[in-house]
Structure 1
Amino acid sequence: MPGGVIANPSTFTLKPGIAQSVAFNASSYAKTTSSTITVTTTSGTLTHTATLALTVAAAGAAAPDYSLSVSPASLSLTAGATGKSTSITANALNGFTNAVSVSLSGLPSGVTANPSTFTLTPGVAQNVTLTASSAAKAGSATITITTTSGGLTHTAALTLTVAAAGVAAPDYSLSVSPVSLSITAGAAGGTVGVTANALNGFANAVSVSLSGLPGGVTASPSALTLTPGVKQSVTLTASSSAANATSTVTFSGTSGSLSHSATLSLAVSSATQPAGSVDVTTYHYDNARDGLNSAETTLTLSSVNSTNFGKLGFYSTQGVVDAAPLYLSAMKIGGATHNVLYVATERDLVYAFDADTGAQLWMKSMLGAGESTSDDHNCPQIAPEIGITSTPVIDRSYGSNGAIFVVAMSEDAGGNYHQRLHALDLTTGSDLSGSPSEIQASYPGTGIYSSGGSQIFEPGQYAERVGLLLMNHTLYMGWTSHCDQDPYTGWLMAYSEQSLQQSAVLNLTPNSGGTSGYGAGEGAIWMSGAGLAGDTSGNVYFLDANGGFDTTLNANGFPSSGDYGNAFMKVSTAGGKLTVADYFNTSNTVNQSDFDEDLGSGGTLLLPDMKDASGTVHHLAVGAGKDASIYVVDRDNMGKFNPNSNAIYQYLSGALGGGVWGMPAYFNNTIYYGGKGDVMRAFTITNAKLETSPSSQSSASFAFPGTTPSVSANGTQNGIVWAVEASSGGAAVLHAYDAASLGHELYNSTQAGSRDSFQDAKFITPVVANGKVFVGTPTGVAVFGLLH
């Protein structure tokens, strides 16, 4: 017993089966400590002991503890149908850091939980899937979730409703439209429609309340009662004193024991962006990743040539620039207005340069005390060091001055690797509230590399290569391996933009079997640095690499064990979760993975709405990988897996002269692709289909890794395709082509001798803004523009 602590009673006699309470009291002079109390019992020659973990907190200080949360707190299952998941989180209080053991009780007969026991890390959510077998009886039950950590115990309840097989219980869903809204301080408010959608004959009233409104924002009405199927409007208004803010507003509906919610991403701006300015805030200009800047008025077909156009300067950095530079117009920094170029490097540094003069406005390191950048893990893909690899993303309306979000890898003095998410003030580079956030994750799975029923994210085994996606005030990131060095699996993660805390996780190969190799586990997301794509409905699109895929499908056509290696993916973010909504795998997908001929080297481009000859509108996406074929999918019906054919919207087998390590660009109904060792090819779109042969092509070919083009234009005029050509000697060439005919080269950086020379950084794409072209290199950014 520690000093100053007494037990009452300290000795006593037990009768079998009858509990005895013992009170522990710490006097005011007791020292802060943690100790193990041993309870010793004797009866004749029998002796047994038990232990109690005791923590004494200083007077006036709250002891470390945790709270337990479950979301959602109610589930409705149908016997024999696919299970549903809830998320369980242990929330640390007063510096609590211990592991928390979890068990579930009260499951009705025929209902199983996966996993049923597990361990939580404070702050990291664990998904649990409940499934009712076909023999499960209809009814309601309360599942008790019991957690323990040392002497601490907490419980939470989950309400479960099971409907008989083939009979779905009355229920409703809650929806808001639009799902994102921007309002300006002091201006007219914005309106949101809220609807309770009846399911299975549901007819009851639904009460709705709002939460999460930022300061200075009001809702009218602030609470409402919905009749199923009848939309009601809520107006959100920001007062003139409201500051820049981003927030997730939650609409919570209740009806009897049923509870559902919907979220609205709200942006409040205290000032509008300067008129006529151009911002580049994300990879390839927008979330569709179309690579098009259609507001370029300076660079024209007549002005871009070796006489008038060339290298203006070079903005030096420490570390390789693998991420695409980002650009903001008319930013106020240090009392002056600048066009600002933001550059992230593998030295774990972020720079802000005056985009016109090259003056360094600020530079910030992402390294913690005593840390260095990661080594390259004996993998030349990202070398000689790993720091910030992926293209960051900017939210100009975030907080007081806006923020740039970056993911940085580092290694501490003990040899431990770290992956962290940072939010930096755009004007100073300082970490904002909640930044940095340590990236950790686990996901239920029993496949290769799993442990204790879960796949565990090991920071040292991964790099964040794909460009970050910011959508509906949530940040999305995907993870790749180091040169296929096992163990690894495929990870997609979501983080709240506001709190920088993890909100959802999806593992793409959690249950994949096998022993090792390209087709076991794996399934990395890397896309040669292209960005995750997002549509206006909140879905995330990407191509993942070689990995385990279940050729046995369930009744809905999805892999039976949830393994999606080498897939064209569509992931829903509805309800704050990451759920596979649809997918496409090639008919020979297993063979492609086994021989490392997967789709994962290429990026995904979301095409604008396309009409066919009959006037039908199609929502399409295009992607290509190592097999030199182009895959066009219908985003509303992607095709899934057919072992006999590629049953997708359009398949152009061998359309390219080499595999794709990058992604295309889009302009004026034309797709531009530059494969490895191939010329760049333009494919015209007619009646919502790509022409099977290119309409034009460049005379120059592009050595590994090929090229990821971008396009500048003024509306639909003066379209210029920009592309960087790599070479084995390290020298690079910037090309500019007439978008209407790639056979018409306007400029390349060798035409003026050594005047415009620069070095190549693998997988880089040109960034065009306000009359300048910015190209990342191993030692900085080369800047091109009009010379006169």
Structure 2
Amino acid sequence: MPRVPLGPCRGRASISTRRPETDVCAMSSAQFLRYPSRWVRGAVWPIEIWPADRAVHTIAPQVRVLRMAAAVLLLAAPVWAPPAAASSAPHVTPSVRASSGTAWTTYHANNQRTGNDPAAPSFAGTTGPLAQWSAGLDGKVYAEPLALGRLIFVATENDTVYALDEDTGSARWSRHLGTPAVRSQVAGGCGNIDPIGITGTPVIDPTGGVLYAAGLIGSPFKYQLWAVRISDGALLSTRDLTPPGLNPAFQQERGALALGNRTVYVPFGGWAGDCTPYHPWVLGVPTAGGNLLTYQPQTGGQQGGGIWAPSGEALDSAGNLYLETGNGFSSPSSPCPTTYGQWDHGDGVLKLSPSLVEQSFFAPSNWCRLNGTDQDLGSVAPLLLPDGTLFASGKSGQGWLLSSSSLGGFNSPLFGAQVDSCHTSSSVFGGFAYAAPFVFVPCDGVGLVALRVDSANHRFSAGWSAGGFSPGPPIVAGGLVWSVSRNGGRLAGFDQATGQIKVQVSVGSASRFVTPTSADGWIVVPTDAGVEAFQFGVSPSLTSGWQTVGGTLASAPDSATWGGGHVDVFARGTDAGLWTNSRDGGRWSGWAPLGGIVQSGSGPGAVSWGPGRLDVFVRGSDDALWHRWYDGGSWSGWESLGGVLTSGPDAASWTAGRLDVFVRGTDSGLWHRWFDGGSWSGWEPLGGSLNSDPSATSWGPGRLDVFARSPNNQLIHRWWSGAWGSETLPLAVSSGPDAASPGPGLLDVFGLGTASAVWGTAFTGSGWTAWHALGGTGTSDPSAASPSPGTFDLFVRGTDQSMYQATGR
């Protein structure tokens, strides 16, 4: 049988046929297509591959030329069209949407002050943190931490802002903005913070990339608003916040800032101890510059009525502000005056326009007596509800539903009642949280109370109450309601539906009204020493948007990486051949053919054992395992590794020169073959019953992890670490899984879940995180690779059959 060299087509192999004139590889595409059909087109011959190792591998006689016989698995002339190139506007964009990390950019996550993180994964079943860190900072932290882009932003009483890595707590940058004031500068010995810097929670403009913080400096003694660039901590601007009439000796900036209408809103109240005179001030600072907006409604000798609640103010979609005020100093009487001019604006609820013009108000019938008994409404800010109402309460434990269109004036709420078992004095402080149908209220000395809101009838009633815990302002994340106990010491998570306490962890001492933050599965707690963070199960998560890589895929993609940000992706094309695309430094090379016949319904499997090395495996048209490799300079020819496959293969490598390949056999069980650097083993049966292609990865020498879908659509996991182990994870998987290891002891596993969305889970070294949705609609098994420690690249075929890619960590 004459041998025909491949020559310049592919320098590493030759083919032989029974006809010396059929030197198909030496032909151009046009010559090949003109070749006499009686000799080539549709002809059936035995064909042999002669790869560089000179071993002979015979392709079955059933291989047909022009059905990819001469080129597929021989990689001869590239006569077939590549997958379709990406267009600038794909006709169908997969509904995969990336999360670039939690955007908790203001107090309790949003301007409505709901404190609800709907993007958090389920924490169901958690009994403790999977990971935790603490960061000592240069001052006490009264403000709620903020989160954006997987950074945690923290402001201290030393007038310093930090950006901390969400996963480690290490400082990315810090910016000391001024020298804080000291308590002795406050009038009359009032106040309970020393030193006094940034107390109110800052706010982030994610579009502009700017954090705004208000703080007090000691010399000159005044408030300032700082604009800090969140990417590097650069100070962009400083604005004075001490207009005539606002005296820092009597006015404290305790409430959270808010951003709306391209304006930063800053509320002011009095210091602890009520040293007078102080007033209910709100300042508005246009972010583009311009005159300061001010609101201070008191006249004559009126004073008090400060806006001091840690939650600050709420904003509706039209930019209107809603606030509660504290005690005024009007004399108690019975009944209390109901003339607007006699009302000192104490113990009420206010609605202000974006330009800080008062629109409406609410004051309970006993507003003047609340003044006299120090039972502020202003201990908490209103909570805006989706039905156009707002919930308000205060120290008295009384709650009201008010219409946001008109608050009701004197004693005309939509509904009012005592908040379940809350005390009737010194009861509710800080802030609320909301997850339909419950408003979560922290009742000091009693516990956390859930009120069930009847939006249709504008009523609320008792839902559940969790005692044995004196809660701070709550938030909602992962199906749990989180609260830090008064003055710190304990973080607790309560079942959102029942109030049953699910998890508790110890934390450092903290100020009375601190509230935690939810960030990508981390719960972040401010303390007197800095911040502490606890991860309850959120890996993996996406850090970029999905981008098309083009192509028209006829299989699931598979990816491999040798590190350094380099990724290679392989897929079956519409010509049934193998195609590849690689990314190095952020740019894709474009799709290129590698030939071969990849069996319909099966995707390739790829792995790298080190820089410059790639190994790719396919199920051929004969259902055998075929292998091709790249050694840094060129591609080898194909070699057959035999077997009878009923799935696509996948491979892992735990060190240079080692390959482990896994397939499903005709018995539906898992089969294994490995290369030890010198030769291939025989096939090893590992049993089980697989309902998908297997997936394999390794996190280090001597370790293998293999995943597949079971017949009842759960996740099968087998691992080798000196001996084979196994487990079944009760996760609803509707595709084959794929896995990557972002580091030693770590695994990220992906699959399609409910409604064909992409889902993920992770092994953190001590347990599995929650199986959670990453969004989207996939039409293939996903594929993952970890091009640098702690990260992954995720690939999936979209609804337009092209490939889409996103990054995560």
Distance 1:699 1:551 in 2: 34
Q: Is the 8 A contact 1:491 1:505 kept in 2?
A: yes
Q: Is the 8 A contact 1:550 1:562 kept in 2?
A: no
Match of 1:300 among 123, 129, 140: 123
Q: Is the 8 A contact 1:393 1:404 kept in 2?
A: yes
Provide closer, same or farther for how the CA distance between residues 666 and 342 of structure 1 changes in structure 2, counting only shifts above 3 A. Answer: same
Distance 1:594 1:561 in 2: 16
Match of 1:431 among 211, 232, 235: 235
2:407 corresponds in structure 1 to 638
Task: Say yes or no: does 1:736 pair with 2:493.
Answer: yes
Instruction: Give per-residue Cα distances to partners, 1:86-114, cap 9 Å, x unaligned.
Output: xxxxxxxxxxxxxxxxxxxxxxxxxxxxx
Distance 1:287 1:365 in 2: 27
Provide closer, same or farther for how the CA distance between residues 381 and 665 of structure 1 changes in structure 2, counting only shifts above 3 A. Answer: farther
Q: Is the 8 A contact 1:324 1:767 kept in 2?
A: yes
Instruction: Give per-residue Cα distances to partners, 1:347-368, cap 9 Å, x unaligned.
Output: 1111111111121111111116
Distance 1:406 1:593 in 2: 31
Distance 1:365 1:669 in 2: 42
2:398 corresponds in structure 1 to 629
Q: Is the 8 A contact 2:181 2:196 kept in 1?
A: no
SS at structure 1 position matched to 2:369: helix
Q: CA deviation at 1:693?
A: 4.0
Distance 1:687 1:608 in 2: 9
1:707 corresponds in structure 2 to 472
Match of 2:151 among 330, 340, 347: 340
1:488 corresponds in structure 2 to 278
Provide closer, same or farther for how the CA distance between residues 689 and 375 of structure 1 changes in structure 2, counting only shifts above 3 A. Answer: farther
Provide closer, same or farther for how the CA distance between residues 607 and 376 of structure 1 changes in structure 2, counting only shifts above 3 A. Answer: farther
Provide closer, same or farther for how the CA distance between residues 599 and 277 of structure 1 changes in structure 2, counting only shifts above 3 A. Answer: same
Distance 1:394 1:699 in 2: 35
Instruction: Give per-residue Cα distances to partners, 1:404-455, cap 9 Å, x unaligned.
Output: 000010111xxx41100100111222211xx21111324xxxxxxxxxxxxx
Q: Is the 8 A contact 1:292 1:667 kept in 2?
A: yes
Task: Say yes or no: does 1:584 pair with 2:362.
Answer: yes
Q: CA deviation at 1:531?
A: 2.8
SS at structure 2 position matched to 1:652: strand
Instruction: Give per-residue Cα distances to partners, 1:307-365, cap 9 Å, x unaligned.
Output: xx266110110111000001112xxxxxxxxx211100001111111111121111111
Q: CA deviation at 1:547?
A: 1.2
Q: CA deviation at 1:638?
A: 1.4
Matched to 1:301, the amino acid is: A
Q: Is the 8 A contact 1:472 1:538 kept in 2?
A: yes
**Higher relative contact order structure (alpha carbons within 8 Å, sequence separation ≥ 6):** 2
> Does 590-599 or 559-568 show the bigger shift?
559-568
1:498 corresponds in structure 2 to 288
Provide closer, same or farther for how the CA distance between residues 677 and 381 of structure 1 changes in structure 2, counting only shifts above 3 A. Answer: farther
Distance 2:458 2:482 in 1: 21
Distance 1:503 1:348 in 2: 22
TM-score by length of 2: 0.51
Match of 2:501 among 733, 745, 750: 745
Match of 2:383 among 602, 605, 614: 605
Distance 1:779 1:405 in 2: 22
1:284 corresponds in structure 2 to 108
Distance 1:550 1:561 in 2: 11
1:236 corresponds in structure 2 to none
2:254 corresponds in structure 1 to 465
Instruction: Give per-residue Cα distances to partners, 1:452-508, cap 9 Å, x unaligned.
Output: xxxx11123222111101001111111021121112111111110112x54311103
Q: Is the 8 A contact 1:376 1:386 kept in 2?
A: no
Matched to 2:356, the amino acid is: L
Q: CA deviation at 1:723?
A: 0.9
Q: CA deviation at 1:626?
A: 1.1
Instruction: Give per-residue Cα distances to partners, 1:582-629, cap 9 Å, x unaligned.
Output: 0001111111112211201122100012xxxxxxxxx10011111111
In structure 1, runs of 5+ residues without a counterpart are 1-186, 189-272, 330-338, 443-455, 514-519, 610-618, 714-718, 750-755
1:386 corresponds in structure 2 to 196
1:766 corresponds in structure 2 to 516
Distance 1:685 1:635 in 2: 16
Q: Is the 8 A contact 1:707 1:725 kept in 2?
A: yes
Q: Is the 8 A contact 1:545 1:567 kept in 2?
A: yes
SS at structure 2 position matched to 1:560: helix
CA RMSD of superposed structures (Å): 2.6
Q: Is the 8 A contact 1:550 1:559 kept in 2?
A: no
2:323 corresponds in structure 1 to 542
Q: Is the 8 A contact 1:679 1:698 kept in 2?
A: yes
Provide closer, same or farther for how the CA distance between residues 687 and 607 of structure 1 changes in structure 2, counting only shifts above 3 A. Answer: closer
Provide closer, same or farther for how the CA distance between residues 473 and 561 of structure 1 changes in structure 2, counting only shifts above 3 A. Answer: farther
Task: Say yes or no: does 1:317 pair with 2:137.
Answer: yes
| 1:169-188 matched pairs, under 5 angstroms | none
1:396 corresponds in structure 2 to 206
Task: Say yes or no: does 1:653 pair with 2:477.
Answer: no
Q: CA deviation at 1:640?
A: 0.5
Q: Is the 8 A contact 1:393 1:470 kept in 2?
A: yes
Provide closer, same or farther for how the CA distance between residues 355 and 375 of structure 1 changes in structure 2, counting only shifts above 3 A. Answer: farther
Q: Is the 8 A contact 1:379 1:482 kept in 2?
A: no
2:371 corresponds in structure 1 to 593
Q: CA deviation at 1:692?
A: 5.1
Q: Is the 8 A contact 2:385 2:391 kept in 1?
A: yes
Q: Is the 8 A contact 1:773 1:785 kept in 2?
A: yes
1:441 corresponds in structure 2 to 243
Distance 2:307 2:486 in 1: 23
Matched to 2:145, the amino acid is: P
Distance 1:694 1:419 in 2: 42
Percentage identity across paired residues of the two chains: 27
Task: Say yes or no: does 1:725 pair with 2:475.
Answer: no
Matched to 2:307, the amino acid is: I
1:683 corresponds in structure 2 to 451
Instruction: Give per-residue Cα distances to partners, 1:702-732, cap 9 Å, x unaligned.
Output: 1xxx42110014xxxxx211011125xxx51
Distance 1:695 1:466 in 2: 29
Distance 1:463 1:318 in 2: 21
Q: CA deviation at 1:579?
A: 1.1
> How many matched pairs?
436
Matched to 2:510, the amino acid is: D
Provide closer, same or farther for how the CA distance between residues 684 and 562 of structure 1 changes in structure 2, counting only shifts above 3 A. Answer: closer
Provide closer, same or farther for how the CA distance between residues 425 and 374 of structure 1 changes in structure 2, counting only shifts above 3 A. Answer: farther
Q: Is the 8 A contact 1:374 1:411 kept in 2?
A: no
Matched to 2:414, the amino acid is: Y
Matched to 1:384, the amino acid is: D
SS at structure 2 position matched to 1:278: coil
Matched to 2:486, the amino acid is: A
| 1:502-513 matched pairs, under 5 angstroms | 502-511=291-300, 513=301
Q: Is the 8 A contact 1:278 1:769 kept in 2?
A: yes
| 1:165-314 matched pairs, under 5 angstroms | 275=99, 277-297=101-121, 299-302=122-125, 304-306=126-128, 309=129, 312-314=132-134
2:438 corresponds in structure 1 to 670
Distance 1:544 1:600 in 2: 4
Matched to 2:241, the amino acid is: I
Matched to 1:510, the amino acid is: T
Q: Is the 8 A contact 1:712 1:720 kept in 2?
A: yes
Q: CA deviation at 1:654?
A: 5.3
Provide closer, same or farther for how the CA distance between residues 588 and 667 of structure 1 changes in structure 2, counting only shifts above 3 A. Answer: same
